[in-house]
Structure 1
């Protein structure tokens, strides 16, 4: 009987850990070249840094997304909140864009 209680307690612990959201990430600022990857209508804007880090850009404003897409490839400085999500079936770092500016 004690064994079942321990098993139940272990299962509740695992379920509790699995349902906790990941900790919120602070905003970051990254610079790099933004290119369009994939085929329309599923194309995504991806920023590559000099250190070869990749971020899939998620714009809060559709007009901003269209402006960047029209100029891609383009060098940008982007401030945003990173989070992990899936893209084309694999985990990929996304960056929710708060502000962006063109670089020369």
Structure 2
């Protein structure tokens, strides 16, 4: 591989995505579970939009946001769903970023 993924990880997009996801998760605790799922998509889209690297990194950041959000729920069967939603959101964020440039 020409680029090493572990050396190029940006933490700022991951933190931005996690903050958005956790805010939606807190709102979802009072309103319903669908808001938490929407928060994973929106949070990972924010992290995918914030990265300056390739789409591969946006997908990885979305998966990381999905994993951490799934762990926060306490139900480990939800982690797979949140990973899929996170990857989708990261891709959507990168597509939006590409359309702005």
Pair in the same fold by TM > 0.5 = no
TM-score by length of 2: 0.25
TM-score by length of 1: 0.24
Report the structure, 1 or 2, having the larger helix content: 2
Report the structure, 1 or 2, having the larger strand content: 1
Tell which structure's C-alpha radius of gyration is larger: 1
